A and B are shown apart, each in its own frame.
Chain A
Amino acid sequence: MRTTLTSLALISLAACATAVAPAELVAARAAYTRAEAGAANTYKPDELHEARLALARAEQAFTADGADDHSVTLAYLALRRTEMAEADGVTAQAMAEKQQDTAQLTQTATTELRQTRKDLNQTREELASEAEARDRSERLAREALNKLALVSVPVKEEPRGTVITLPGSVLFASGKSALLSSGTQKLAQVASVLKDQPEHEIAIEGYTRGSDDLNQALSERRAETVRNFLIAQGLPGDHINAVGLGASSPVADNTTAEGRADNRRVEIVVKEPSEPK
């Protein structure tokens, strides 16, 4: 009896072993396992559930009827059903990611736009401020020129700057470098104008009519005297340079008394402020 039962069990096991699952069913099982671990589980659980039901029907058909046409077709449908759930899961995940990235893109672009507008406004304000400062400087310069014109001081515009020419006869006695009272008065008027333009560099150039060493040295001393006077009047010393140029750059003919008088002079060159970098 026991031998008979054992034989039956062995026969039954042998029968099961021969019922090899069709490739479609094997593939459907693997696909379902893969889909469960993928995006479908999160984004398309309903489709994944339908795929599981389809796989269960295929398994039942295979258990009941083996690998006949119907059970194989059910396995094929379960496989495709699972693959569709996977594809739709990937689609839903991609759409969600795109939506998230697009929202972040919009937020970032908005933030950058705000910053750009802020920077633009700041630049506009800076430009307006610079323009205002430039206008003010030009207005002061015009006013200064007007003031100098009122006290009969020759002023001319040259590429090197605004040039104020003071005749040597007004400033100094012949061969001397000490200021005359008339020169002091005239220079004080010039100094009061230049104090309104502290941002300008000033060059003081002394000229004589003679070209020898004595005249060269005299032109240097006179330029230095004017510089010291302007500093004493309150102008910043680090903005003022003095140089003696002797008989170079004559402005008139030295053969006439009038020409020689014109060549004996001190020029105060008020340079334009350098452009902001």
Chain B
Amino acid sequence: MVSNLRCSLMGLAVGILAGCAGSAKPDDLIASSEASVKTAQEIGAQGYPRAALSLQLAVDELQHARDFIKSGDEEKAKLQLLRAKVDGDLALALTQSARAVADAEAARERLRAITVPASEE
């Protein structure tokens, strides 16, 4: 589901960058970028260093985009929003990855605990 969303948004990004920028609305891009950031925050990306860095980049890029919109530079705003979106998605992916690795390590430890004989006293 997340991957499909990423693919469609990637397609949108390519479309925008290929010359359709004029037809894309900044409001739509803001909504998708904000959703990405919110999702990353909700699953706790702040708790994992690499994910936290990506999340912070997304937040900063979102703010830059708003600043460009205020100053009337929609083109630059759209580029920042695209960056915010992928950085938010990456924060999500890195969080999931860190958790999966920790879970796998815990499972390995449990297995090791019952398969490796205790040292004799």
Contact = CB atoms under 8 A, between A and B. Distances in A.
A153 B24 CA distance: 117
B120 to A, nearest CB: 19
A98 B75 CA distance: 45
Contacts of A108: 111, 114-115
Contacts of B100: 90-91, 94-95, 98
B104 A73 contact: no
Contact of B79 (A61, A69, A80, A104): A69
Contacts of A74: 14, 17
SS of A interface (majority): helix
B6 A73 contact: no
A112 B113 CA distance: 13
B111 A87 contact: no
A263 to B, nearest CB: 57
A84 B97 CA distance: 10
A87 B97 contact: yes
B2 to A, nearest CB: 9
A123 B45 CA distance: 53
Describe B's contact surface by its main secondary structure: helix
Size bracket of the A interface: 20 to 34
Nearest to A90: B97
B114 A95 contact: no
B86 to A, nearest CB: 4
B108 interface: yes
Contact of B83 (A47, A76, A98): A76
Contacts of B108: 97, 101
Contacts of A94: 97, 100-101, 103-104
B93 A50 contact: no
- Size category of the B interface is 20 to 34
A73 B96 contact: no
B110 interface: yes
A67 B110 CA distance: 51
B90 A87 contact: yes
A69 B86 CA distance: 16
B107 A101 contact: yes
A61 B79 CA distance: 15
A95 B111 contact: no
Contacts of B6: 84
A228 to B, nearest CB: 52
B10 interface: yes
A268 B17 CA distance: 111
Contact of B17 (A73, A84, A98, A105): A73
Given A88-B97, A91-B93, A94-B97, A77 B10 contact: yes
Contact of A80 (B87, B96, B97): B87
12 contacts: A57-B14, A73-B79, A73-B83, A84-B89, A87-B94, A88-B97, A90-B100, A91-B100, A94-B100, A94-B101, A98-B104, A108-B114
Given A101-B110, A109-B114, 6 more contacts: A77-B10, A81-B86, A94-B97, A94-B100, A101-B111, A102-B107
Closest 3 interchain pairs by CB? A94-B100, A80-B86, A87-B93
